[in-house]
Amino acid sequence: MGAHAELRDVRQAAHAAQVRELTAAGVLDDPRWRAAFSAVPRHAFVPYYWIGRGAGHERMWCEDPDPERRARWLRGVYTDTPLATRLRDGELVSSSSQPSLMAKMLDALAVRDGDNVLEIGAGTGYNAALLCHRLGDEHVTTVDLDEEITESARAHLAALGYHPAVITGDGARGCPARAPFDRILVTCTLPLIPLAWLGQCRPGARILAPLSTGLIALTVRDAEFAEGRFLHTSAYFVPLRGATAAASAATPGVPYGLPYELVENERFQFMLVLTAGTLHAREALDLWRREDRPSRERFGVTVTPEGQWSWLDDPQGPYVWPLGEADSS
């Protein structure tokens, strides 16, 4: 057996093993998404990626002349982990998301046959391919600010026979030429929800987006109102970039002086980030303890032209915090 045929067999086995692992983990219960993950090979979208090596990065490449390094590339592709796929001046600007998180988000998107989906953040094109397999190319639009990213994603998709609309543009502005949308799926962290998206949605549309360190699932009532709760899972993505992106979405660290068990507590960090600028650390700690260490699902967000608010349990209060200044884009 030749080297290429051997690597092909290894790829097929690794791909099948990943689908089995995701199914066993309970994130591919929907047979339609299981079929999509089975049909779309991740390695086709990640011909190279970087892994951390001390103060630098090591590039793993599918065409590396060293057979062992090619095998390492392949093993990395089919592990359940995010992969850095584009660096600029040492900073991460694009990645291939963790497959299990992708599966959770696609399931939570709750698409129906015939739904039109807008993806914010094209990445490698892998997520768009999964959507195309489930819904058909004509129902999928993916947007990214970086022309290099969209060109690469378009090429990866076309190589497998998928041809969604791949648009180079500011994702915060949406894509009015392809509206209206039934679903918006966001693969970059936001500081606020761009109001432009609401106006491009049909009533009852669903927006699923990373906010703070969680995933907010919003139901759009109309162009001026959306509301929803966070999912239970954590989520960490590259921040949204672009002229209309609100100020930095960087996650602040946990202040010194808090009890040690909270420094590593994801739920507390989530609440601290979500209420940043409103609650001081000690106030957040008091609330955390008083409300029995609330999980992500107890928090929600309301979006209007007048402002955006996060809240605990009830959007009418008593615990309501401004997310930031109203976004007029």
Tell me how many degrees the CA angle 174-176-179 measures, rounded to the nearest 5.
100
97 given a catalytic annotation:
yes
Three-state DSSP at 42 gives helix
d(CA 226, CA 303): 5
Show the 3-state SS of 124-182.
CCHHHHHHHHHHCHHHEEEEECCHHHHHHHHHHHHHCCCCCEEEECCHHHCCHHHCCEE
> Which helix H or strand E contains 18, and what residues bound it?
helix 3-24
Q: Retrieve residue 63's tokens.
A: 């065409």
Residues 97, 100, 212, 310: which is the catalytic one? 97
| 173 touches 196 (CB < 8 A) | yes
Let me know how many helices (H) and strands (E) the chain has, helices first. Answer: 10, 14
Please identify every residue annotated as catalytic: 97
